Structure 1
Amino acid sequence: MRIGVVGYHNSLPLHHGLKDQLPEAELVYENPSRVAEMLNAEELDVGLVPVASVATHPDWGVVPGLGIACRGAVRSVLLLSDKPQTEIHTLVTDPASKTSNVLAKIWLEAQQPFSIEVKSGSRQWRDRLKAGDATLLIGDEALFLEDPPATVIDLGQAWWDWTALPFVFAVWAGPKASDEALIQGLHRVYEKNQDKLSELAHLAEPKDATRREKVETYLAQSIRYQLGESEEAGLRCYFERGHHVLDVTPRGAHHVSVI
């Protein structure tokens, strides 16, 4: 079993100790978009992938009950701009995650009476910001953002304020996601890790106590790993509001369920 793992701090509770539960598994560490690309190329059997990528792959199953979600501020998915929100006309995407790019576009277009032009961007967020009015920043770099621009919008909070629903960013998915041993192994991993967030924070940031404390608070308060009916409703809402950007019909992602 080839498993794609995202190396961000927020995924640690989902994969730390995974080899102990599934010793035969081969773990590959990449960013979310790259994991999705490797699944599409049949280089992986399952991976932690952005939900936007799962929407366009009806052949991928989803491991039920686990993922990366939030209810309100997420702190690691940020919309950045040197301009006020009302003056944002162009969005330069973060190549690391399709889900957050789509979220930013549909949220911005819901707030103002004009379309948002989307451009592809490089890996450096400051370079992306020079190429357009706004850009996305996700993951650990967003969590520890220094010298932020004038406008910083937490998209987890923005989604909550807009819909009053949780937002699901990523799930375990792939052509072998229905494997029972895999499902049980992934759930055991989280069960063992959910009470070890301080230990995981130390593992993530062993040398810096301030950063370590920030990670522990983030894992405990900002991220939700167990997905239920509310998260399912949030996911349905995202697909319905973003179907035109995702290039699926409003209910074309009906195969994606997290429960």
Structure 2
Amino acid sequence: MTYRAGWIHYTNVAPILDSLVLPPDVTAITGVPTEMNDALLSRRVDIANISAVEFIRHAAVLEALPDFSVAVLGPVYSVNLFHTRPLAALERVALTSQSAMSVALLEVLLRGQGLSPVLERAEGTAEELLAAGFDGVLRIGDSALREWYGVVGPLTPETTMTSLPHTARGITVTDLAEAWFERTGHPFVFAVWAYHRDNPPPAALIQAMREARREGIGHLAEVAARHARKLGLPERVVQHYLWNFRYHLEAPDRLGLAEFAQLSVPGHAPLRFGPRPGAAAASR
């Protein structure tokens, strides 16, 4: 029987997916986070790198690979709130329909500060929506990365990625992962690689993913250069963006995921993960 994968193939997972060679009995489709969330939950695919919040919401039936994540410790650069007023003065915020994760994170951060602006679904670039009357716009993914650089760039030879301004032309860019880190001190996990507990992935697929990740991380400059051309961004911007990510769901990432789960979905079912590589051998 064919095993079906659903990949959210943004630049941030290029080090895993670009060089992935699927086993003969595995097929794959791609889509935005909300599409792949729905595809997994409706069983149109068998595994997907879904939004962590959907994994939490459906923890009673889902399990995740134990050593795969899309996480950051500090800024992520591609989950951004663009705003023209201070956060405390926001009245209308436009939300993307592409990501449940970023919306849930924004809601947690706003509640933590006692803020409750009106949140509305609307699509368009940050500057288009700000011009249309919103005073805040949530953007994600490759588009958000380009738009972030459109506000804070261009880089000069003396500029480092860590010293870029976050305000220009009356627009402030608040990086939601950085805001999470400032609040908690933990990494933020945006996605896990989840599947229904009764239908785990074949070992050959997991091994292929691990080999592809090793290849991608080992050749990060090449991956960054390739995607910089697609995005129309400087190579060093995309390379910095990619080396920021944590792809192995380590102990600090799980702590951050557990804290977010408690804040976003109180009373959720316990989060379950498959056995770690070598766990069976170690137990013998």
Pick from 242, 245, 254 the counterpart of residue 264 of structure 2.
242
Letter in 1 for 2:96: D
Corresponding residue SS for 2:138: strand
What CA RMSD, in Å, does the superposition of the two structures yield over aligned residues? 2.3
Instruction: Give the structure-2-normalised TM-score.
Output: 0.80
TM-score, length-normalised on structure 1? 0.87
Secondary structure class of the residue paired with 2:234: helix
Change (3 A) 1:83 1:163: same
1:157 paired with 2:178, answer: yes
CA distance in 2, matches of 1:234, 1:117: 27
Give, in angstroms, the shift of residue 69 of structure 1: 0.3
Alignment gaps of 5+ in structure 2: 152-167, 277-284
Give me the whole-angstrom Cα distance separating, in 2, the residues matched to 1:41 and 1:13. Answer: 28
Matched with 2:142 is: 140
Q: 2:190 aligns with which of 148, 159, 169?
A: 169
Change (3 A) 1:256 1:85: farther
CA distance in 2, matches of 1:251, 1:196: 42
Q: What is the aligned counterpart of 1:204 among 210, 216, 227?
A: 227
AA at the equivalent of 1:157: E
Cα distance, 1:170 vs structure 2: 0.6
Matches of residues 68-83 of structure 1 in structure 2 within 5 Å? 68-83=70-85
Distance 2:135 2:9 in 1: 29
Which piece of structure 1 moves more, 143-152 or 9-18? 143-152
Highest CA radius of gyration, 1 or 2?
2
Asked whether the equivalents of residues 4 and 48 of structure 1 are also in contact (C-alpha less than 8 Å), the reply is yes
Q: Counterpart of 1:141 in 2: which secondary structure?
A: helix
Q: What are the superposed Cα offsets for residues 112-140 of structure 1, whole Å, 9 maximum, x if unpaired?
A: x3433322222544454436332211111
Q: Matches of residues 48-67 of structure 1 in structure 2 within 5 Å?
A: 48-57=49-58, 58-67=60-69
Q: 1:233 aligns with which of 255, 277, 284?
A: 255
Instruction: Give the match's secondary structure for 1:171.
Output: strand
Greater Cα offset, 24-33 or 144-153: 144-153
Match of 1:189 among 204, 212, 237: 212
- Alpha-carbon spacing, 1:5–1:50, altered in 2? closer, same or farther (3 Å): same
Structure 2 residue 274 is matched with structure 1 residue 252: no
Q: Is the Cα contact below 8 Å between 1:84 and 1:150 reproduced in 2?
A: no
Q: Distance in 2 between matches of 1:84 and 1:212?
A: 32
* Residue matched to 1:44: 45
Per-residue CA shift, 1:133-174, capped at 9, x if unaligned? 322111111212124652210111100000000000011112
Q: CA deviation at 1:209?
A: 8.2
1:191 CA displacement: 1.7
Cα separation, 2, equivalents of 1:173 and 1:59: 10
Structure 1 unmatched runs, 5+: 244-249
Q: Secondary structure at the match of 1:205?
A: helix
Q: 1:203 is aligned with what amino acid?
A: R
Contact 1:94 1:136 in 2 (8 A): yes
Q: Does the CA contact (< 8 Å) of 1:66 and 1:225 recur in 2?
A: yes
Q: Is the Cα contact below 8 Å between 2:81 and 2:138 reproduced in 1?
A: yes
In the TM superposition, residue 227 of structure 1 has moved relative to its aligned partner by 1.3
Q: Is the 8 A contact 2:46 2:201 kept in 1?
A: no
Is the CA contact 1:15–1:189 (under 8 Å) kept in the aligned structure 2? yes
1: CA distance, partners of 2:272 / 2:109 = 21
How far is 1:177 from its partner? Answer: 4.1
Letter in 1 for 2:141: G
- 1:208 Cα shift? 8.0
For residue 209 of structure 2, what is the amino acid of its counterpart? L
* Counterpart residue identity of residue 140, structure 1: D
